[in-house]
Amino acid sequence: MTDVPEPEPDATEPRVAVVGGGAVGVTAAYDLARQGAEVVVYEKDGIGGGSTGRAAGVLYDAFAAPEDARVGSRAIERFREFSGEGDFEFRETPYVWFARERDDERTAAIREQVPRMAEQGRDVSFADPADLRERFPAVDWSDVGVAAVAENAGRTDPGSYADLLAGKASEEGATVRTGVEVRIDADDLRVEAVGDEIESETFDAIVVAAGAHTKRLLAIAGIPVSLKPYRVQAVTVGFDGERRADVPMCYDATGGYYLRPHPEGLLAGDGTEEVESDPDDWAREADREFCDVTRERLAHRVGEFGAVREAWAGLCVATPDRDPLLGELRDGLFVAAGWQGHGFMRAPALGEAVAEAVLGETPLPEFDPTRFDGDETFAIVEGMAIE
């Protein structure tokens, strides 16, 4: 047979580098590639090997601010669309958040937020302890003062999503390069691979979606951004399968921790450290004190459970106003970071939004990354905190 030459690429197709192979980065790569862009993904480790692989996999759209509600709704919609492809599965699971009796501050906050969520079209409603006991009998609700349930919610294995979207991006023509550390030249829109041999490529646009490394990567390029990586922790424990079916995803706003069903039992976590972490030098294992406190919390909330299976830490990234930086920082240079622990659950929508920004749209002006100078002083606040 005579070989047929491949067609030359359309000169109008933008060349886009995506730095970061987490959930947001690979979603952006997929959405850009299927719109005709020539995409190269650079990932320092493996796909989903950073914060995505250590995320809790809690998914919900219960947000009160209009922009957050839109993002949450679109994310859940896309999670459902992707479910069943490859190893990725969205498992429908209600999400319950509550404040305990005599916690007046958080009780007032929940009572104020739920009607606002409903105004945004979120399927949320108040529930009293009797309702919760009937619906979720494996959980002790006796100390609950106020609670709400979000029905449009679920859980998943975060790594399976990242793998799926990286594969879909490749199928659309994107090049995915793992094990490649890079630096960027913001003036020339050039990406250089760091190693024994320096390889350089120039692009029409660069998207920096490097999670906890975003601040440092941009600083090396001479661009300050208001981001602070911080450490969070989680454990999994054994739990009877029949009882597990009667456990929703929960967030105890008073105690500042969450739990959810997990294939091996239960997953519980938070353990936020309200200090900035070095993205290259931090403890990957959970602290013994955190594990001890979490066991006490689980014993109080669900009674008997099995041994700790895994205990680990991950990095989230904070911003001064707890909203992300998403959009164009400089001509051709885009950033997508600062999720406050909500990045994975909103990744399908956030990745889509930054892809739209690269292609000339302004999908989320509320998250404009130029709203900060980059030298702001601010405290790290736990991402799920209700105030």
Q: For residue 383, what pLDDT is reported? A: 82
Mind listing the domains of the chain with CATH numbers?
A: 15-54+158-226+320-371 (3.50.50.60), 93-153+228-318 (3.30.9.10)
Q: What is the pLDDT along the chain (387 residues), one digit of tens a residue?
A: 334 344 444 557 899 999 999 999 999 999 999 999 999 999 999 999 999 999 999 999 999 999 999 999 999 999 999 999 999 999 999 999 999 999 999 999 999 999 999 999 999 999 999 999 999 999 999 999 999 999 999 999 999 999 999 999 999 999 999 999 999 999 999 999 987 666 899 999 999 999 999 999 999 999 999 999 999 999 999 999 899 999 999 999 999 999 999 998 999 998 899 999 999 999 999 999 999 999 999 999 999 999 999 999 999 999 999 999 999 999 999 999 999 999 999 999 999 999 999 999 999 999 999 999 999 999 998 888 787
Helix, strand and coil content of the chain, in percent to the nearest 5, comes to: 30, 30, 40
Measure the N-to-C terminal CA separation of the chain; round to a whole number of Å.
69
Contact 144, 136 (CB under 8 A): no
Residue-level pLDDT at 339: 96
CA dihedral 255, 251, 242, 292 (to 10 degrees): -30
> Using N-to-C axis directions, what is the helix angle for 343-358 and 23-33, rounded to 10°?
30
Question: Is there a contact between 339 and 71 (Cβ–Cβ < 8 Å)?
Answer: no
For residue 1, the model assigns a pLDDT of 32
- Looking at residue 196, its pLDDT comes to 63
Give the residue from 358, 327, 338, 312 showing the smallest Cα distance to 213: 338
Give the residues across from 268 on adjacent strands. 235, 259
Q: Going by C-beta distance under 8 Å and a sequence separation of 6 or more, which residues neighbour residue 339?
A: 24, 316, 317, 324, 346, 350, 383
Q: In this structure, are residues 86 and 163 in contact, taking their beta carbons and an 8 Å threshold?
A: yes
For the record, the structure tokens of 253 come out as: 């706003």
Task: Tell me how far apart the alpha carbons of residues 282 and 232 are, in angstroms, rounded to a whole number.
Answer: 11
Tokens (6 digits) for 168: 């879909």
Reduced to 3 states (helix: H, G, I; strand: E, B; else coil), residue 125 is: strand
Q: For residue 378, what are its two tokens?
A: 């601010």
Residue 387, pLDDT score: 72
Q: What is the pLDDT at residue 4?
A: 35
Q: How far apart are CA 87 and CA 324, in angstroms?
A: 29
Contact 253, 105 (CB under 8 A): no
**Exposed, middle or buried, 295 (CB in 10 Å: 0-12/13-18/19+)?**
middle
pLDDT of residue 197: 65
